[in-house]
Amino acid sequence: MEELIGHCRICEKPIYCKMGFLDGVVQADKTLVCFECSGESQKENVTVEPQK
């Protein structure tokens, strides 16, 4: 049983609550990030990768 909570604000991956377990992290400003991004987003600004 999954409930869509929102989307990662960085990669926009959908974040679900699975049986009471949130598939990501709610930040102080109430935004959601997935675990992958939360590990990399300790810095203030995550910028879009430069494209050539």
Residues of the shown chain interacting with Zn ion in the complex, contacts defined by CB under 5 A: 8, 10-11, 13, 34, 37
Cβ-based nearer residue to Zn ion, 10 or 26: 10
Q: How far is the CB of 11 from Zn ion (least distance, A)?
A: 3
Cβ-based nearer residue to Zn ion, 30 or 52: 30
Q: How far is the CB of 19 from Zn ion (least distance, A)?
A: 21
CB 7 within 8 A of CB 16: no
Token pair 């810095």 is found at 43
Q: Is 15 exposed, middle or buried (0-12, 13-18, 19+ CB in 10 A)?
A: buried
